[in-house]
A and B are shown apart, each in its own frame.
Chain A
């Protein structure tokens, strides 16, 4: 039975991968291996991974499963040992730094800014890849900043200094900064962790709005699988540095996944979205 299941899963993964490659994937990864200087052997090994264009894809998995490592590699923040990461069919290593920052936005897990920077100035930094060494701010930059502030809903905080913001407000301000980059692809590393529920929803709603209104491809690392199931079009479940499953939430979120990957005994109801009721840890 178990083998039957995993066979199904593997088949589905390959089928999905085949579908997306014939369809369009914004980012596609083949034979990726990433290791850290301190680790023995690679911490992430992925044969194939696709971030479909125009969709929200969530990377889920337990601590240490390689979600953040994978997304950092996708953002060219980490150099993989081997493998190919294609953005719109072109290896990201071939992009210039600014060129990449105009195509692909990335917000890391921890963000820090000097206390006395205003939110507006912070968002303006998102225009960095569009400006030359002596670059002045032009009308496009202003419009992009305005739009980013609007979408992230931080208009009332515009003049506020980053040092005076709550954790959630600060996260929204940083998201506005990344939005000002006006990229087609956005990678977010645990944007909702440590936030209160209100701000978690604000962040995810911003992501949703961005996706529906501007057709931005989003890949987001989420800690909370229920949240991922609710907001994402696709889930990529990572386990121990490998892709465990890939597909729409209704297919991926199963009691088996929670048991195998998260070590949690849980009941999953489909209404039709998957609803998870955790019972106990394994």
Chain B
């Protein structure tokens, strides 16, 4: 039916629901802020470290045309062939500092997107790879490999993905009773995670080599230390597979969050879709875990932050996560590798830069359409500038940023950022889903 109605379609030419008008100002704003923050954090990371480089030297090396146009260098990075002879400076920038940044970005994107999918699939904003047992499963698998089945070490990412999948399948089957419910999924997830975490701790006692224990510890807290292009080569295909699939699946997530009954009435094969999209989330999350260990809170906090800014349309949420996840990881890794004062310095500069840029953009927008400058826009400009200036004055007060001697795992920094932020959200929103 409906074909006979096509004569009336001319009148409805004004319709706006065309499925492409969903990229709106908040989403673009969010993406721009994230890019500013990410780029600045990356510049700091490239410039500072044990091997001393001035800011300009680092820049010159980073954008060295000889190196950038040398295909054998890219082959070495992306395919793992032997690196040609390079000056020490290029080695430091391109072979030590850059891979860590690049891997961090992909880990952030993967964990953020996976968290968003899990939250939609379970219709619960508390869901994340953590609460659904995926982290614990992947972590246990990694520990088992490091401590017991050492001959499998070269397959670590695969093993991590397998562990995450097994844990999730376990959670799914425990919560299955002719169908699953979001609450049952979360409860089963927490229980499975607890058991797997206990087993992880038990494995520490079995390990007799202190080095193994340290590696394992770095793994379970999440760390980017010593990350190489090899890790990049592991995670890149998973990201290239998982992120586009997630973006494509976002429309289905939107229908899924209407509830099982409605989704089914609309012709969705609910269990199949839920399982398939969870599979995508597991693959992306596990690949992140495989290269960086269990970086906590990213999968939980990133979708939340995005949602408060762009609303609950998952097409926007997923795309927002692709920007916010990397930014959070980049920022956290500055704190992790360069220490607290560098972290504050970075917050200061990105804050002022964001405030300034959006102030200028605001002038343009105001000329075009004054209505676009709503309260939240003015708050963004004001807030970013104030936070930036405060952080910068603090940095000046303590005599400029300095590189910290010791590194903490990045997972600890994300926890320190994510935990308080999440609590703040809870106080703000009061309504946290079904549970």
What is the interface of chain A, defined by CB distance below 8 A to chain B? 37, 75-77, 97-102, 105-108, 111-117, 120-121, 123-126, 128-129, 131, 133-137, 139-147, 178, 181-184, 214
* B residues less than 8 Å from A182 (CB atoms): 1-2
A143 touching B313 by the CB < 8 A rule?
A: no
* A residues less than 8 Å from B254 (CB atoms): 117, 121, 125
Contact residues, B1-20 vs A (CB, 8 A): 1-2, 5-6, 8-9, 11-12, 15-20
B312 touching A145 by the CB < 8 A rule?
A: no
B17 touching A143 by the CB < 8 A rule?
A: no
CB of B265 within 8 Å of the partner chain: yes
CB of B379 within 8 Å of the partner chain: no
A129 touching B267 by the CB < 8 A rule?
A: yes
How distant is the Cα of A219 from the Cα of B375 in the complex, in angstroms?
47
Contact of A128 among B5, B6, B268, B313 (CB under 8 A): B268
How distant is the Cα of A115 from the Cα of B75 in the complex, in angstroms?
49
A146 touching B12 by the CB < 8 A rule?
A: yes
B312 touching A117 by the CB < 8 A rule?
A: yes
Beta-carbon nearest neighbor of A150 in chain B: B12
B1 touching A184 by the CB < 8 A rule?
A: yes
* A residues less than 8 Å from B380 (CB atoms): none
How distant is the Cα of A100 from the Cα of B265 in the complex, in angstroms?
8
* B residues less than 8 Å from A134 (CB atoms): 248
* A residues less than 8 Å from B252 (CB atoms): 133
CB of B257 within 8 Å of the partner chain: yes
Contact of A101 among B6, B258, B267, B311 (CB under 8 A): B267
Q: Say how far B245's CB is from chain A's closest CB, in angstroms.
A: 10
Please name 18 further chain A to chain B contacts, defined as beta carbons within 8 Å, in addition to the given A101-B267, A128-B268, A143-B9, sorted by A numbering. Answer: A102-B267, A106-B265, A108-B261, A111-B258, A112-B259, A114-B257, A117-B311, A117-B313, A121-B17, A121-B254, A124-B17, A124-B19, A125-B255, A128-B267, A146-B12, A147-B8, A181-B266, A182-B1
CB of B262 within 8 Å of the partner chain: yes
B5 touching A147 by the CB < 8 A rule?
A: yes
B12 touching A101 by the CB < 8 A rule?
A: no
CB of B150 within 8 Å of the partner chain: no
Beta-carbon nearest neighbor of A102 in chain B: B267
* A residues less than 8 Å from B248 (CB atoms): 133-134
How distant is the Cα of A135 from the Cα of B25 in the complex, in angstroms?
24
7 contacts between A and B (CB under 8 A): A113-B258, A114-B312, A116-B312, A117-B312, A120-B17, A125-B254, A147-B12
Residue count of chain B within 8 Å CB distance of chain A:
34
B12 touching A128 by the CB < 8 A rule?
A: no
CB of B201 within 8 Å of the partner chain: no
A137 touching B17 by the CB < 8 A rule?
A: yes
A142 touching B258 by the CB < 8 A rule?
A: no
Q: Say how far A103's CB is from chain B's closest CB, in angstroms.
A: 10
* A residues less than 8 Å from B1 (CB atoms): 182-184, 214
Beta-carbon nearest neighbor of B314 in chain A: A114
Interface string of B250-282 (1 = CB under 8 A from A): 011011011101101111110000000000000
Q: Say how far A155's CB is from chain B's closest CB, in angstroms.
A: 11
* B residues less than 8 Å from A116 (CB atoms): 311-313
How distant is the Cα of A107 from the Cα of B2 in the complex, in angstroms?
20
CB of B211 within 8 Å of the partner chain: no
How distant is the Cα of A144 from the Cα of B1 in the complex, in angstroms?
11
CB of B420 within 8 Å of the partner chain: no
Contact of B267 among A77, A100, A139, A141 (CB under 8 A): A100
How distant is the Cα of A131 from the Cα of B312 in the complex, in angstroms?
21
* A residues less than 8 Å from B266 (CB atoms): 101, 125-126, 128-129, 181
Q: Say how far A120's CB is from chain B's closest CB, in angstroms.
A: 5
Which of A101, A107, A117, A142: most chain B Cβ within 10 A? A142
A143-B267 contact in complex given A125-B254, A137-B17, C-beta closer than 8 Å? no
CB of B178 within 8 Å of the partner chain: yes
A108-B265 contact in complex given A143-B12, A146-B15, A184-B1, C-beta closer than 8 Å? yes
* A residues less than 8 Å from B178 (CB atoms): 37
* B residues less than 8 Å from A124 (CB atoms): 17, 19
Beta-carbon nearest neighbor of A181 in chain B: B266
- In the complex, the 6 A-B pairs of residues with the closest C-beta atoms, listed nearest first: A101-B267, A129-B267, A146-B12, A114-B312, A137-B19, A98-B267
Contact of A97 among B11, B269, B311 (CB under 8 A): B269
How distant is the Cα of A76 from the Cα of B8 in the complex, in angstroms?
33
